[in-house]
Structure 1
Amino acid sequence: MKQLLSCFLSLKTALCALMLLPALANSADSAVFLQYHHVSEHTPRSTSVTPDQLKQHLDYLDDNGFSVKNSVDVVDAIRDGKPLPDKTVVITFDDAYLNIYENAFPLLKEKGYPFTIFVAIEPVDKGFSQFLSWEQLKEMGQHGATIANHSITHSHMVVKHPDETRQAWINRNRDEIQATEARIKEQTGQNVKLFAWPFGEANPELQQLLSSMGYVGFGQQSGVVGPLSDFTLLPRYPMAADYAEMRGFRTKVNSLPLPVKKQQPASAMVTDDNLKPSLTLELAKGDFQKNQLQCYASNAGEIPVTWLDDEKTRFTTATPDSLPVGRSRYNCTAPSMDGRRYYWYSHQWLRLKKDGTAID
């Protein structure tokens, strides 16, 4: 912006404007975050991509004008209103599996791509054979890896222990986040205050806690990070199983954030008296086709969209079938005006078991 201002204040305003137009046309205020777990042919398909699939993903980014950026830099730019290159992508891995070092790291290092590993530290500290060591994490940190917080135990943080008070539950989660961050700093020197919710599960109380601690939080709901995003629960596209196939990958990395100004409800929690929850969204203006907006539920496929005003700024949607125990999603998308890209928003729901616990 300083360059733009000085240029327009100069005597060569017209020439400057012409020179700056290409840069402005190729700037953006959003980024796609990708979430991986395993990179292996021998791990559960539901949380895995093969090394060949990851190579296809990285080659596509390399061959099609994408900018792969550091997570901290991208988050700071979006929050501060600074432009990013169009088609900016951030690569993240959860849980610190050894196969990240064995199979992903060589591919990323060859490309010179930065990436983030969200570490649940207990298996690392205990030296579990299928997990990274601190030495491997430090080595990757020297080659573009950001090492970030994923809790100690990777537990369901929304679940209270039996007879645990609300304050004790809050304090326990605060202590776990702080202890993890301290251990990461001790072992790697990094202290970036990015946190990935285990299982992508959060609720407003925990999100408020995270914000008060100065952290940015990441979920596992699909979508694109933009200036209107909730920075305690930023979206990432999960890459595994059928969701990692190239056709879907191309659509997702080219997508844009559906500009959601307000959402009701704010919470992911599903109660027994409301097993078919409605999601109401209020949209800001954007370059998308409102008439083509569609929503989908993970348990029911396409679900109806009801506009609440003539201007089509507010709509509601709901599943016709009760959400199952566990995690579910509503995804809402609309094509851009030129039909080349999709605007995307996702909300994750969480229904606990009758005993108040969650399923993995």
Structure 2
Amino acid sequence: MSDVIFPAKVMITREVDVHGLPITRAYVEVDDETKTIPLPAGKPGEPGPRGRPRAPWVKAGEVATEAGLPTGLGADDRGKWWHVLATNDMWTWTGTQWRQSVDAVGPQGPVAPSAIVNVIETISNPKLRIAGADLKGIGAERDLRITVPAGPRGDTGPVGPSGSVRTSDDYDNTVGLVNGSLFAWNRITRKLRAMPPPGPIGLWAKGPADFPATTSLGNFDTIDLVTIDIPALPFAWRPRVNGLIATYADDANRTGYPHVWARLNDPSGQPVAMGLNPFRTLRHEVTLCPYYSEQGGTATANNYGEAVRLSASSTVGVVKPYEPAKIYIRVERDKGDATAGSNIQFVKTMPYVQVQALPLRL
């Protein structure tokens, strides 16, 4: 390290001690920033003497008493030790003499479990030039990560001819293709493979035990029945709802008859299934079928056919990836006759509803 130069305040005093000898003292004051500057290191010293090679420390045998220790040992036997059974002492040969460790040998422990080494990762990178190993774990089982040095990068080879994925070495032909199959990477075989086309996921269902009891006959606009919770799925999807539910209406006005609707994420949200009573009978077993419409779901027994309109790219009734969903099932009276409609009720006669998730490619 080169010389360090810094500003400082130097004060020198001169005194005479009791014997008449002069005493000179120098005081150096520096600011706080200068105090942190490292002082220059001195010159390195001469190398020290080379130490003796470390001798292995191994058990060489057992003897009944101290008198049974071997004789004629030399420098090459340094590090060997013997167990004296009578006293459990350890006698170690230093190369020139014996050293005693009193009562140093205890009872033999249990046999250790077999060692297991799991090679977790092997790293090879053209930028790495030094090999290394990282061994982690507790007990007999350890995880090993190895760094393998790589040589310099070679010249770029010629561009190969184009080929079919199915005829390449990276493709697994053990699974046949069907219409709509997808290619997927198999991390185990490290090859591409054919996967079946995405189909309905589920199902989620509610049966008679989940439905309420038969309601009283009354002037209701809606009767809430069940709610089905669908967990978050890793893809966009549209619910497919089916079911069978019974309703009843009196014939006081011959209008405003009950129908069954399934709506997405809100009791008044987008309809995803309907069970209409087109014949407007008093008691009817309503079949719940999938229903999607860009018209807002205002279908009644008179105009439901006109409202069923959906484009191929529509997002009506679509649940986004990684979002949970709720399907609300309820009885609803005709919208146009809500104020003058018949009295309605839900009749519990073995009702059920089922939901499947239809994956979409958006």
TM-score clears 0.5: no
- The answer to which structure has the higher helix fraction is 1
Normalising to structure 2: TM-score of the pair?
A: 0.20
Higher Cα radius of gyration: 2
